[in-house]
A and B are shown apart, each in its own frame.
Chain A
C-alpha cells in the first residue's frame, strides 16, 4: 500500500510542477513538461492499479469513500460495465491487467462526453450531509432519466450506479474531476480546501480518499500529456450549451474550464 501513497505523492508533486511551469519566466519548457507528464502517467498507472486491488478487498464496505473506489475502477471499464454489474467482483479481478492499458484510451474518450452531461443537482447536494465527495456521489446528472430514481441516499445511489449505464458513472466522476481540477489549480493545497468545504468530513480516511479522488480526477485531465486539457477545451462550448439545470454545476464547470483555458491556449499556441 505504500506504493499507493508514494504514487499519490509523486502525482501531486508533478501536478504542482506543471502548474508552476505556467508562471515561469521564459515560457513553458517543453522538455521538462514532457518528462513531468511521463512521470505523472507512470505514477498514475501504479496508483490506479493499486487502487483497483484495494477496491476489490473493500467490496462489501458501504462507506462513501470506498464506494468512490469502486466507481473509479468501474469507470475504467466503462463500455461493458452495464451488463456485468452482477459479475463485477470476478470480472474486476480478471480484467485488472488489460484495464491499466486501456485506461488512458478510456480517459481520452470519456472526457468529451463527460463534459456534456456533467451537472450536479443542488437538491441532492443539500440532502447529502456528509463530505463533498458524498455530494458528488449522489449528485448525478439529471439527463439520464433512470438515475433520478436512485438518488435517495448516497449508499443506494452508489449501489445503483454500479448497475447503471456508464453515463452516470462518468458524470459523477466528471463532477469530481472538475472540482478536483478547480481546486488543484489554485495555489493553496487542494487537500486543505477540500477539508474546509466538506461539511461533515469527520472521517479522516474519507477525506484522504476524497483528496485522492480529486487528484485522480485531475490526473485524467492530464491523461496523456496534454490531451485531456485540449479535449476539455473543445468540450466547453458543448457543456455550456447543454448545461441548463443547476447554477452550481455551471459555476463548477466554468471555474474549472477557466483555469484550463489559459493552459490549453498556451499549449495550442506552443
Chain B
C-alpha cells in the first residue's frame, strides 16, 4: 500500500531524458497530399506516419481527425565506410522528399551523406489462397495428395505495408549531400553537396548530370560552399541554391549545360555596424525554400529568416528576427558549436505564414501580413494532447511577464531544427530531438 502510494512520486524523467543518438530525428517531410508524414533519424531509419480518417458521428462526410499514426518503419541507410579515403559514412538521413503520387504506391527519396535511395511504399491487403501445389504455410504438397484442381482466390488479409528499395543512386558525390529536390517534371531530381549539384533521372542510377560545380581548381582558394538547393515548384528548368556566404543563385538550365553562371544572384550587403568575428558564420544560409506560388524565396540564416522576391535581387523584401538576443552571445555559441546549427524554414500552404525553429524547444511563426511573430514551445511537460499551445516569450528587457524565459536560462541542447507544414491545412510537424510533435490549428483548420 505504501509502496503503491509512493510509486507515482518516483521521478522517471531521467529515463525519458536519456536520448539515444540514433533516435534523433534529422528530417521531416509531408507528402503532396499531407496524408503521409515521413521522418528520418540519425540511425538511418525512416518512419512513415499516416493520417487517420475517422467518420464523424454528426456529419455525413468523413472528417479527418488530424491524428497521425505509424504506418511503416524501415531501415533506409546503414553505416558505410569509404575504403579509399578511410572515412566513415554516416547513416544519418539528411533529407527525405516524396515523389508525386502516380498510382497506388508511394515513392520517396531518402539520402544520407553519399547515397540517395528511391523507396516504394505499397500496401497489401489481399493475398491469394488456395494454391494447388503449396499448402497454406507454403510447403510443397505431395503430388499424390492432389486430387482436384482449383483456381486460387484473393482473400482480404490484415493490412501489410511493404517498403522496397527501387533505385540506389550511389557514387554521385564526393562531398556530403545536403539537399535533394524533386523536379516538377516528375522525372528528374537534383542532389546537392558542398561543392556540386547533380541532376538525376529517377529511372537511371548509373549516370547523373553535373549542373553546378563551384569547386576551385585549387582547394586553397575555397571561399564558399553550397548549403541548400531546390527546384522551382512550377518551372522545371529553374532551381536555386544557397551558399555559405549568404548569397542565393537562381539558375536556368536552358542557358547552358553547366549552370556555374547564375541567372540571378540574390544577396544583401552586410551591415558594417554588425561586423564581428562571426559575421560570416551567421550569414551562412542554412535552408532555402520556394514559396508555393513560386514567386518568393524563404531563407534562414543563424539569426533571421528572410523573404526574397524573385524579381528583386538587391535584398530581401522581408526580414524577421528569430532570436536577435543571441547576437551578443555569438562567442559562447561558437564555443559550444551551436552557431553551426542548421535551422530549416517552411511556408504554410498559402504562403502567408512562415515558420522556423529556435532553441529551448521554441519555434517561431511569422505572419507576413502583419509582420508579427509568435514563439511557441514544443515540449512534453507543457503541452498535453489537445491542449492549446500558449505563446512564450524570451525576456530581453522591459517589463518582465510571468512565464518569460531569460536568455541565460535557454537550453541550447533543445533545438528545433527540422519541421514541416501540411501542404493544404494548418497542421505542422515539429521534430524536437527524438520526439515528433504534431500541432493542428483548430480555429482555422482550413486555410482561407
Contact = CB atoms under 8 A, between A and B. Distances in A.
A42 to B, nearest CB: 5
Given A39-B281, A42-B277, A267-B219, A30 B85 contact: no
Nearest to B224: A34
B335 A269 contact: no
Nearest to B281: A35
Could you tell me the dominant secondary structure of chain B's interface residues?
A: loop
A99 interface: no
A39 B277 contact: yes
Contact of A30 (B82, B87, B225): B225
Given A25-B90, A30-B176, A225 B331 contact: no
20 contacts: A10-B277, A13-B334, A25-B90, A26-B87, A27-B87, A30-B176, A30-B194, A34-B222, A34-B224, A39-B277, A39-B278, A39-B280, A39-B334, A43-B277, A46-B277, A225-B220, A225-B222, A226-B219, A226-B220, A230-B220
Nearest to B194: A30
Contact of A26 (B90, B220, B331): B90
B284 A35 contact: yes
B113 interface: yes
B282 to A, nearest CB: 10
A193 interface: no
Contacts, number: 75
B310 to A, nearest CB: 25
Closest CB pairs A-B (n = 5):
A227-B220, A26-B90, A27-B87, A30-B194, A38-B280
B194 A31 contact: yes
A7 to B, nearest CB: 8
A148 interface: no
B383 to A, nearest CB: 33
A258 interface: no
Nearest to B218: A227
B171 to A, nearest CB: 15
A224 interface: yes
B225 A34 contact: yes
Given A31-B194, A34-B224, A267-B219, 9 more contacts: A13-B335, A26-B90, A27-B85, A27-B87, A27-B88, A30-B175, A31-B244, A34-B222, A34-B223
**Which among A25, A26, A31, A43 has the greatest number of chain B C-beta atoms within 10 A?**
A31
A29 B177 CA distance: 11
Contact of A35 (B84, B244, B335): B244
Contacts of B227: 31
A34 B244 contact: yes
Given A225-B220, A225-B222, A27 B280 contact: no
Contacts of B195: 30
A32 interface: yes
Contacts of B244: 31, 34-35
B340 interface: yes
A35 B222 CA distance: 11
Interface string B70-99: 000000000000101101111010000000
B173 to A, nearest CB: 12
Contacts of A39: 277-278, 280-281, 334
Nearest to A227: B220
Interface in B291-348: 331, 334-335, 337, 340
Contacts of B223: 34
B299 to A, nearest CB: 16
Contacts of A7: 277
Given A34-B222, A225-B222, A26 B280 contact: no
B315 to A, nearest CB: 23
A29 B176 CA distance: 8
Nearest to A24: B88
Interface string A249-270: 0000000000000000011011
Nearest to B280: A38
Interface in B49-85: 82, 84-85
A21 to B, nearest CB: 11
A151 B227 CA distance: 54
A85 to B, nearest CB: 33
Nearest to A42: B277
B114 to A, nearest CB: 10
Nearest to A43: B277
A41 to B, nearest CB: 9
Nearest to B79: A25
